[in-house]
Chains A and B, each alone.
Chain A
Amino acid sequence: MAERSFKNEIEKLRLGEGDEFSGEGILAVTKALLQAGVAYIGGYQGSPISHLIDVFNDAQDLLGEMGIHFESSANEATAAAMLAASINYPLRGAVAWKSTVGTNVASDALANIASAGVRGGVLIIVGEDYGEGSSIMQERTHAFAMKSQMWLLDPRPNLQCITDMAENGFELSEASHTPVMMQMRVRACHVYGTFKAKSNRRPAFTVSDALDAPTRQLDRIILPPFNYEHEAEKVHARWPAAVQFIESRHLNEFIVGEADDIGIIVTGGLYNNLNRALELTGCADVFGNTRLPIYVMNVVYPVVDNEVIGFCRGKRAVLIVEEGQPDYLEQNINTILRRNDVQTRIAGKDVLSLSGEYTVRVIEKGVRAFLAAWAPQLSAEVGRSSPGADGGDAVAQQLADAIPVRPSGLCTGCPERPFFSAMKLLEREVGPLQASMDIGCHSFATLDPFNIGNTITGYGLGPASASALMIPHRKRALSVMGDGGFWHNGLTTGVGNAVENQHDGVIVIVDNGYSAATGGQWIPSSRAEAEQRRYRIPLADVVRAVGVRWVKQVRTYDIRRSLQALRQAMTTRTKGPKVIIADGECQLNRQRRIKPQIRARIDAGKRHVRERFGVDPETCTGDHSCIRLSGCPSLTIKDNPDPLRSDPVAHVVDSCVGCGVCGEVAHAAVLCPSFYRADILFNPTAWDRVLHQVRTRIITSLRRGFERPRARESGQSP
């Protein structure tokens, strides 16, 4: 669970037969699962599918009513392993995660379940984080489908199509005893649209039913000889069954076009972009009426040979629009055509780019090149692409140099910032540090203004990725991971491993109380209270329990202490890993929680002190050391009010949450006296008022006394 509330979304999950659902793609899938009679759901949060987990987390009532078991899993491997419940029982199960990173973590469990096969339908929703806005390495989930023989759906990014495919996915899984993955690109997850809802269906078979009458089938166990049998079963039974199902249900679509000797094969997810590209060339209209026939593969694996042959036969050339690399589909389709002696030429990555997102302009360029090669007459008709279509002309390129990049960074008041300030101060003392970083908000410490960290290897793998470096040395190696990564796997891969191997290095665990980067979900060490879950498990206890001898917990906002702890960790004689728990609640979530509380307090007439920081422009000299050590979004710059100076002065904007880091940095770094903290009183008590009045009177008269001689002095003319 999390601090955010998803009430509105849950209302949408309750829509009945014929109602119009309107909302985001990923929420539509969430609804589709309920319509499909799913019995259990799991998953691990991460963009772009966090919403599914968040909404179900908040929908316990609804799920309880329907007899559905839901849990947010410890990681993707847990989520995947959960699907084992469908091996013996006709339970429909669904899990979700970010891919390919999550699929990497899940793949051990997935491979085993795919080998055993499933009785109940299993749907794995993967958020394909590829292309613009992605935060991970660029890979395809497609490879996992092929290697484990699971089926991969890639529906057109249209809510009706997505939800239909989700429901079909369960049936496909049951018909072929195979787990089915459904990939949704980032924009499809976030696309707003509508579809006709159906009533939710209680699961025909529930988890309780399974426990009432446990069954086992020896041949579903992954041991010899069954593992050999599974392999044969995959190829000889499950695959043909899947192909037959896909064909008979028309999961893939054929769109007719007037051209009869060329055509296009496109993966479902790219269909909308393809149609726009064709529109731009004049080969299609906004309603999808096209001059070129199109075969839309809503199921990208397995490939249905008959459909491909049927589409290609008689055509001179076909263009395959398939994003990412390697070009699995192009290879597959080429093989199918060769084996069946179909002489159609396949174009694909030769006219489209080998890597990167297939934007509309990229596809348009490919289509134009394809037409030029295979349909010169049509090519001449459609003319040339509009000028500047590649993105920029001379003016734009010139402007590009003048425009600063705007990388992601830590939020206003982020508790991680002061810790990285401390690390930066440590660097000033001892020179560059070797720091192995992790996935999470703290990844941004690798960017301006901190520039700390040498590698990012994977979620929870910060300490593990420092394994080779944590030898006894004059200047110890550091590693950083978040509490999210810690619970995901870092406890064993990082801390446990470091203890057993007596790593002589420093492990920093950033304890912000949430899986913050994925949307602020609660994790076991969160300071949360919830009915059906257990939280508040102290990280320090856990770390000690696995054998760490040197553990220091510091409040991150106390930069001096953090710096001290870092120095000690780097120099202590204690053997084994030195663990610093950098403790500070995620400000984004904290504000989410306390803002309404504060508003209520003030409205109720209770005393409240709002703290915020500021900079005196008269004393600021415009060096911006403070910004280089902090980088807080609310610590910015403005024109220098001093006419003799031109460098902008530092300035704190009103979004400041008064976290105190500005003052701490000024102190710890011996920076400058320009920072001030303003304590703004709401609903002061009578005592506050009296005290303030007395103070003001005394100060006013003191000031008069102080300024009088000065006025005289300046008045003197020699």
Chain B
Amino acid sequence: MNDERPKPISVAILAMGGQGGGVLSDWLVKAGERAGFIAQSTSVPGVAQRTGATVYYLEFFPRAQAAQAGKAPVLALMPVPQDVDIVVAGELIEAGRAIVRGFVTPGRTAVITSDHRDYAISERMAMGDGRADAAHILRVVEQRAARFVCFDMDAAAQQCASAISAVLLGAIAGSGVLPVARNHFEDAIRGSGIAVEGNLRGFASGFDRASHGAAQIRPEPRATTPATPANAAAEKLIERIKAGFPEATWATLSEAVRRLVDYQDVPYAEEYLERVATILKVDESRRGEDPGYRLTETTARHLALWMTYEDAIRVADLKIRSRRIERVREEVRARPNQIVYVTEFMHPRVQEICDVLPAMLGRAIMDNRVPRAILGLFCRKGRRVTTNTVRGFLLLCAIAGLRRWRRYSLRYETEGGHIQSWLSTINTLAGSDYDLAVEVARCQQLVKGYGDTHTRGMSSFRRIMAALNRVRQLEEPAALIAELRQAALADERGEHLDQALSRVGGPRPVTGSKPGFQAA
């Protein structure tokens, strides 16, 4: 093929519906025309407009060359794999998709992409962590791209109160991959007449980042996440941790005791450390197994989570803190002094109410039809509580104040029993099968959430624990438990778990009467 022949510059924009890919291609067309190009753009928006992934495609051809030839160029209507000069993506996964579709040719194609994530529905709806491996995708894209401009354009757009498409346009302009002068791009934004000020700011921000030196722009590492704030009493305990526990566990234990003190009190945190110490003892006896104290660390992490189970007291306690209201204000971008009211959506069931009652009373209600039904009358509807009104605040304070009597509550008793048997299982297993003990510790991950979610998680946990003895007789029991745990997180109805359990010879799931309406 003769490479001397005139060729159009081709640009593929991979966008999500509603991200402004159409506006971006309009700007590019206008800027290109001003700079002496014949420009063509096409797209297939259709239903993809609704959050789906879609591709806009543009070609630019110098008008002078066409005049010289006395003929108009014939421009293509779709991006051709291995024949694209510039790939623009408004989100990291979409840049990855450009590679999958063959639009990024090593040594030729420039990639301009935002590295922020806009999670796909499959990633969002997973019961655990279903996110794609962004770091891996980023690496592949960077390796492929002949020129790579990548930063968080979503954040930049928010900072400038502009559309992300304006930042992308700025990045295209600033990277110099399209031979069009800056003022032409800006004129295109002005010409569209919509949110011009903000979009020019966004453009400038994108331009500056992309034109910053000839070097490739890489994303910066993200800030680490904040932990529970320091607390004098907890800090004292942390000193004790450093004296009595191996260094590998310090980080987890420190975070844990802060959390436990915050959740209940210092004695509760001490109780926690005593429990961890028993596990540590076994771990030390199996020193050769894992120098990193994997068992202690894992158990400590999950024990802390379990001991700080989410009951109504905890929820109310967290809701009324001033720090929380500040965070909400920040999140909703309230201006200083702007009035913001925060309303909570709570729907406690009889169970949750009995949970915080004294164990005997709670159990009495749960076990008797009449009181349960009476209490049920008050639980049919969800409640809305506005936290920063006096009434709402007092109500939440009252619930949070029950913390003092938490140790006498029904839930405390129930959870305590579960925790104890879980810990002793770990303890027993650790002597014979270290890896299995670690996997059992990890199963606490299943017990989370509220209401039905908690019930479902607890039931999965118990079913796996019930299968433990059978699993121990099979090969690689640790891997099997991990598999069961994954299965429990695969679907809400527990179908995967049913299958996985039947594979290890577990009992058939308990099936109730066939669901359906009674014939009228």
Contact = CB atoms under 8 A, between A and B. Distances in A.
12 contacts: A275-B76, A389-B102, A406-B120, A410-B50, A474-B519, A618-B324, A625-B449, A636-B119, A636-B124, A644-B304, A654-B333, A682-B338
A402 B96 contact: yes
Contacts of A361: 80-81
Interface string A405-425: 111111100000000000000
Interface stretch (A459-467, A493-501, A696-704): A696-704
A666 B516 contact: no
B340 A678 contact: yes
Interface in A430-470: 430-431, 441, 444, 447-449
A19 interface: no
Contact of B266 (A275, A641, A716): A716
Please indicate which of the listed interface residues A273, A392, A406, A668 has the most CB atoms of chain B within 10 Å of its own CB.
A406
B468 interface: no
Interface stretch (A36-44, A278-286, A335-343, A533-541): A278-286
Contacts of A157: 77
Interface string A669-697: 11111011111111010001100100110
A475 B517 contact: yes
A625 B448 contact: no
A286 B388 contact: no
A621 B449 contact: yes
B225 A640 contact: yes
Nearest to A194: B38
A532 B148 CA distance: 55
A377 to B, nearest CB: 17
Nearest to A703: B322
Contact of A645 (B48, B82, B305, B333): B305
Interface of A: 47-48, 129, 131-135, 157-158, 186-188, 190-193, 271-273, 275-276, 279-282, 285-289, 359-361, 382-383, 386-393, 395-397, 399-400, 402-411, 429-431, 441, 444, 447-449, 474-476, 517, 560, 570-573, 612, 614, 616, 618-619, 621-625, 627-628, 631, 633, 635-637, 639-648, 654, 662-663, 666-673, 675-682, 684, 688-689, 692, 695-696, 698-700, 702-703, 706, 713-718
Given A572-B520, A644-B305, A706-B397, A622 B74 contact: no
A696 B18 CA distance: 39
A662 B382 CA distance: 13
Contacts of A702: 390, 393-394, 397
A651 to B, nearest CB: 9
Nearest to B1: A282
Please indicate which of the listed interface residues A190, A627, A642 has the most CB atoms of chain B within 10 Å of its own CB.
A190
B81 A192 contact: no
Interface in B335-367: 338-347, 349
Contacts of B54: 133
B347 A667 contact: yes
B213 interface: no
A603 to B, nearest CB: 15
B515 A449 contact: no
A643 B101 CA distance: 37
Contacts of A280: 1, 80, 83
Given A359-B80, A397-B100, A679-B343, 18 more contacts: A134-B46, A187-B44, A276-B80, A359-B78, A386-B82, A431-B514, A431-B516, A448-B122, A631-B121, A635-B124, A636-B118, A637-B124, A640-B225, A654-B333, A673-B346, A678-B341, A682-B338, A715-B232
A402 B133 contact: yes
A238 B105 CA distance: 53
A447 B45 CA distance: 19
Contacts of B373: none
Given A396-B99, A402-B132, A698-B390, A639 B225 contact: yes
Interface stretch (B176-184, B312-320, B410-418, B497-505): B312-320
Contacts of B71: 287-289
A681 B453 CA distance: 34
B281 interface: no
Given A272-B77, A402-B96, A637-B123, A390 B449 contact: no
Contacts of B132: 402-404
A388 B81 contact: yes
Contacts of A571: 517-518, 520
A6 B13 CA distance: 25
B342 A676 contact: yes
Contacts of A408: 17, 47-52
B507 interface: no
A476 B519 CA distance: 10
Nearest to A290: B74
Contacts of A671: 347, 450-453
B126 interface: yes
B140 interface: yes
A441 B50 contact: yes
B137 A402 contact: yes
Contacts of B401: 706
B517 A276 contact: no
B69 interface: yes
Nearest to A677: B343
Nearest to B333: A654
Contact of A388 (B102, B136, B234): B102
A706 B395 CA distance: 12
Contacts of B381: 560, 667
B100 to A, nearest CB: 5
Contacts of A399: 96, 99-100, 137, 140
Contacts of A360: 76, 78, 80, 83
B513 to A, nearest CB: 11
A673 B450 contact: yes
B233 interface: yes
B470 interface: no
Contacts of A133: 44-48, 54
Nearest to A271: B74
A474 B516 contact: yes
A48 B449 contact: no
Nearest to B344: A676
Please indicate which of the listed interface residues A628, A648, A673, A678 has the most CB atoms of chain B within 10 Å of its own CB.
A673
A287 B72 contact: yes
B46 A129 contact: yes
B288 interface: no
B332 interface: yes
Interface stretch (B2-10, B196-204, B272-280, B429-437): B2-10
B125 interface: yes
Interface string B1-42: 110011110000000111000000110010000000001111
B40 A191 contact: yes
Given A678-B332, A715-B233, A703 B76 contact: no
B494 to A, nearest CB: 13
Contacts of B17: 408
Interface string B421-456: 000000000000000000000000100111111000
Given A406-B93, A623-B448, A666-B347, A631 B125 contact: yes
Contacts of A393: 102
A191 B71 CA distance: 19
A695 B390 contact: yes
A124 B270 CA distance: 81
B255 A644 contact: yes
A193 B389 contact: no
B216 interface: no
Contacts of B450: 621, 670-673
A191 B5 contact: no
Contacts of B231: 714
Contact of B42 (A187, A641, A648): A187
A444 B52 CA distance: 11
Nearest to B17: A408
B100 A663 contact: no
B304 A448 contact: no
Nearest to A651: B331
Contacts of A388: 81-82, 102, 105
